[in-house]
Amino acid sequence: MLSKKTKYAINALVYITKNIEKQPVAASEIAENQNIPLKFLESILTELRNARILRSKKGKYGGYLLNESPDKINLAKIVRLFDGAIALLPCVTYNYYEKCEECIDEETCGIRQVVMEIRNTTVQQLKSATLSSILEREIKE
Amino acid sequence: MLSKKTKYAINALVYITKNIEKQPVAASEIAENQNIPLKFLESILTELRNARILRSKKGKYGGYLLNESPDKINLAKIVRLFDGAIALLPCVTYNYYEKCEECIDEETCGIRQVVMEIRNTTVQQLKSATLSSILEREIKE
DNA sequence: TTTAATTCCTATAATTTTGGTAGGTATTAT
DNA sequence: ATAATACCTACCAAAATTATAGGAATTAAA
């Protein structure tokens, strides 16, 4: 399951993308419309800014702006940023690798192979889920 | 990520399957070989027995036995038993459905569609990962 | 130059989940 | 009788999650 934090981050980004012509978008506006606790959202937006996914404008009429085009921002990036590894086991992650303590031989581990296949397809699916593709889906319906 | 509990459960089941001719297998033997805290493992095996995946034999020389054939026991069942829903959001689960509070229209939600596709492929992959297929993979290498 | 609205910063805290431990009782093969 | 096992109940510590509190710094506009 995605954490609430990740979910909030995705919703915030989709909201900004929908209101891309009204940028910068204030945290308070996002919080209200997406039903996210303001203070919690602030910390999320800060993380997104630190990751260079958003940039911000301070002061009155300030807010947040996308720092990349909506077709460059995908869910794999967001999920990794907030929830860490996408894979089901630490021994098959790219970025957070860790050996399973009890594993005798990683190379021939049958569970590992299954989990690796799942990671591969999931990562691909999350990568193809860009902000623009998400919006496109919503419009098409 | 899978919880340690789920991982322990999978390892225990694979271990029993590998020693299927020596059934029943004692919890203490599994704990030792798979490096799982005994008391914690006991609670896991109890859950597996309650779910009719294992059955048990009490008393001396007792232990646990598979209650279904190894090609009927798959990882989807195990993961669901211990970690709950496989999907990344509660609004796309079969068994643990819950509406996203902030969601305006579930039918047209673009995030939901992505997450549903991921769930579909992941569930399929986990279902095809039976205990026998896992053992087969290990032998082939 | 004041005001209002905003981002930004630091600290704290409640709640839930995870990953166990402790101590025993009941059962059964030998 | 004994030893090895499953089974049962209760508890618990650490970590992660999901926030809240209170302001400081910045900026556009009146």
* pLDDT digits 0-9 by tens, A41-58: 999 999 999 999 999 999
By the 8 A CB rule, do A15 and A27 touch? no
Residue A140 banded pLDDT, cuts 50, 70, 90: low
Tell me, what's the pLDDT at B140? 62
Per-residue exposure over A82-120, b if at least 16 CB sit within 10 Å of its own CB, e if not: bbebbbbbbbbbeeeeeebeebeeeeebbbbbbbbebbe
Tell me, what's the pLDDT at A4? 95
Quick check: A81 contacting B, CB < 8 Å?
A: no
Q: Give CA–CA dist A40/A45, Å, rounded.
A: 9
| Confidence check: pLDDT of A93 > 80 | yes
Which of B79, B91, B98, B102 to mutate to test binding with chain A, by most A CBs within 10 Å of its CB?
Answer: B102
Tell me, what's the pLDDT at A66? 98
Kindly state the average pLDDT of the residues A68-74.
Answer: 98
Cα A99 to Cα A90, A109, B4, B38: the distances in Å are 7, 12, 13, 22
3-state DSSP call for residue A94?
Answer: coil
Q: List all residues of chain A from 84 to 113 with a beta carbon under 8 Å from chain B.
A: 84-85, 87-90, 100-102, 107-111, 113
Quick check: B141 contacting A, CB < 8 Å?
A: yes
Tokens found for residue A30: 């996002």
Q: Which parts of chain B sit beneath pLDDT 70?
A: 101-102, 104, 140-141
| Confidence check: pLDDT of A141 > 70 | no
Residue A106 banded pLDDT, cuts 50, 70, 90: confident
Q: Is the peptide bond before A37 cis (omega within 30 degrees of 0)?
A: no
Q: Is the peptide bond before B24 cis (omega within 30 degrees of 0)?
A: yes
Query: Model confidence over B25-61: pLDDT tens digits?
Result: 999 999 999 999 999 999 999 999 999 999 999 999 9
